[in-house]
Amino acid sequence: MELNLAGKVALVVASSQGLGKAIASELAKEGTHVMLTSRNEDKLQQVKEEINSLGEGKVSYFSCDITKPEEIQALLQKTNQELGKIDILVNNAGGPPGGTFEKFNDEDWQNAFELNLLSYVRLVRAALPDLKKEGGRIINIASSSIKTPIPGLILSNTFRLGVVGLAKSLAEELAPYNILVNTVAPGRIATDRVAFLDQMKADNQGKTREEIEEASKKSIPLGRYGNPEEFAKVVAFLASDASSFVTGTSLLVDGGMVKAI
């Protein structure tokens, strides 16, 4: 299968660790030029050095807080200067705090909205002039909560669904420009974020994290957590020419965990 990703330019958000880092690495292996970004400049430098040896693609980084519009604009300018026109935008953001409805005030809701939904809107708006020139890909990373709510994650449950609505609407609006827009939803992927959520659940239930992990694995037909590389390969497919008739879809990468149709 020809992915034809070599020489393309991808902006991968929240790419200093976890799923973002895995996606950036997979794209670089295919020869894509990748702009890394997060708020942690030290981690970005380290990840750049790790990824540089993986493929032909050039790797750059720029520290950015995606809740700040002016920093998003600076990020796009840096990407254009360093790598050229953006062909692939991978929207990604760390999850909001866990907790139930009564735990959160207006500020908590506003912060989650700006991080997990409005940042995606702003990044698409900023990248759109590039993407409209020759077409491209917008891939939004969400959560399995787009299919079934996750107890104790009401902020994520709410705003991840907003991402799906955004992507579905954009898929229709941007199709005339050959811009494909899709959402990818991870299930239990072995990242620091999932380890944190498992620990939080363990603390609430008076159990060990290992006990929570084992119980979670029993709910997954494949009997294990996924690894970030497996998830990243799905994103690379959607970023590639091989997915040329796929837009407006939401794809679960969860080992069969979610039973909803």
**CATH number, position 125:** 3.40.50.720
Give the full edge-to-edge strand order of the sheet including 33-38: 59-63, 33-38, 9-13, 88-91, 136-141, 179-186, 250-253
Q: Is the per-residue pLDDT at 196 higher than 90? A: no
Pairwise CA distance, residues 79 & 197, whole Å: 33
Buried b (16+ CB within 10 A) or exposed e, 183-209: bbbbbbbbbebbeebbebbbeeeeeeb
Residues 135 and 204 grouped into a single domain: no
| Length of the chain counted residue by residue | 261
54 lies in a domain? yes
List CB contacts of 125: < 8 A, sequence separation 6 or more. Answer: none
Enclosing domain of residue 203? 188-225
122 and 165 co-located in one domain? yes
Whether 24 and 116 map to the same domain: the answer is yes
pLDDT at 54: 86
Q: How far is CA 91 from CA 7, 122, 127, 209, 257, in A?
A: 20, 10, 11, 29, 24
pLDDT in tens, 110-164: 999 999 999 999 999 999 999 999 999 999 999 999 999 999 999 999 999 999 9
202-to-195, 198, 217, 225 alpha-carbon distances in Å? 10, 6, 15, 17
Reduce the DSSP state of residue 22 to 3 states and report it.
helix
Q: With 90 as the cut, is the pLDDT of residue 1 above it?
A: no
d(C-alpha 49, C-alpha 64), whole Å: 19
Residues 144 and 77 in one domain: yes
Same domain for 235 and 117 = yes
Q: Quote the pLDDT of residue 260.
A: 87
* pLDDT score at 71: 98
Write out pLDDT tens, residues 220-260: 999 999 999 999 999 999 999 999 999 999 999 999 999 98
Q: Are residues 87 and 103 in the same domain?
A: yes
Q: State the pLDDT at residue 89.
A: 99
Same domain, 148 and 111: yes
- Domain-embedded: residue 29: yes
pLDDT in tens, 35-88: 999 999 999 999 999 999 887 889 999 999 999 999 999 999 999 999 999 999
Bridge-based pairing state of the strands 136-141 and 88-91 = parallel
Structural domain contains residue 173: yes
**Tokens 């796929």 sit at which residue?**
246
Position 259 in a domain: no
Crossing angle for the helix pair 18-29 and 228-239, to the nearest 10 degrees: 50
Same domain for 162 and 37:
yes
pLDDT at 200: 84
The whole-number pLDDT of residue 25 equals: 97
Q: Are residues 211 and 91 in the same domain?
A: no
Tell me if 97 is assigned to some domain. yes
Same domain, 178 and 76: yes
pLDDT, greater one: 101 or 57: 101
Residues 16 and 64 in one domain: yes
Domains: count for the chain: 2
pLDDT average, residue stretch 207-217: 92
State whether 111 and 165 are in the same domain.
Answer: yes
